[in-house]
Amino acid sequence: MPKLQLALAAAAGALVSYFLGPKLAAAIRRAKAKITLKYFAINGLGQPIRLTLAQAGVPFEDYRFPSRDEFIALKPSLTFGQVPALFVDGVEFVQSAATMRYIASTLDPAGQLYPADPVMRQRIDALMDQVKDMMTGRLVMKYKDRFGFSSEVITEEVFQTVQKNWFTTTLPRHLAFFEAQLKASKTPYFADAPSATIADIFIACHMKDFVLQDHGTMQECKCEMPASIASHFDRVFAQPAISAFKAQEK
């Protein structure tokens, strides 16, 4: 083969490796890895991870504790003593947002769940952090011991007061934030992303949890979910891979 042809072939091979290398590596990891997600038989913080795995096309064992006693027995061996916990070839990954980033960065061959563009990644991270900001007060009320508060500090009266304030003030304020961000996006998804990212999945799962299926109002405060947000989580759950996963859950 002439030198020019050899050089062109080598250059072509280098280009293929450069552009397809990460996708090929992700596909190989996804096919070879033994992956198990351990969580309770509820949506909670496990559901965004499940849907991220489904959207990335990752086969995994969706292990749901049949009893709380089994979780209590496992708890001492867990990194932070809590779930969801994702095990990839025996290596434990914890904290839902961080776990979703790991899946999207290493197991999604399409590279769409957490695009490489640094500006888009920052926006995705910020949106997910904002969800956690939104949930902080509610989580402190629900899991006061975890946050260092006793029943003498957070009494039932305090709990009810904060709970009411969260649903009537905190949640609507954050819904307005997310509604504005979705409106500002150049696409139907957050962060100007061309398709659903881990931020879309994270937000959709949290928002869906506050909706009563029978009449589309939010729990506790009974206020209407903004139409754009409701349409967004319907759009996310309508993704073929996510829809198929949710269908087999039933």
pLDDT tens track, the chain, 250 positions: 455 554 554 454 444 444 555 565 565 555 567 999 999 999 999 999 999 999 999 999 999 999 999 999 999 999 999 999 999 999 999 999 999 999 999 999 889 999 999 999 999 999 999 999 999 988 898 888 888 898 898 999 998 898 888 888 998 999 999 999 999 999 999 999 999 999 999 999 998 887 654 344 455 555 578 899 999 999 999 999 999 999 998 6
- Where is the domain boundary, 106, 139, 154? 106
Number of Cβ within a 10 Å radius of residue 226: 16
- Indicate if 122 and 239 belong to the same structural domain: yes
Strands 85-88 and 35-39: antiparallel
- Indicate if 94 and 156 belong to the same structural domain: no
- Indicate if 222 and 169 belong to the same structural domain: yes
> At how many degrees (to 10) do helices 198-208 and 227-237 cross?
120
Place of tokens 């769940």: 113
Place of tokens 């025996």: 90
- Where is the domain boundary, 74, 106, 138? 106
Q: Write the CB contacts of 152 (distance below 8 Å, at least 6 apart in sequence).
A: none
CATH number of the domain to which 66 belongs: 3.40.30.10
Residue 112 within any structural domain of the chain? no
CB of 230 within 8 A of CB of 224?
no
Q: DSSP character for 86?
A: E
Give the angle 109-209-54 at the CA atoms, nearest 5°. Answer: 20
Domain with 140, as residue range(s), is: 118-249
pTM as predicted: 0.84
Residue 86 within any structural domain of the chain? yes
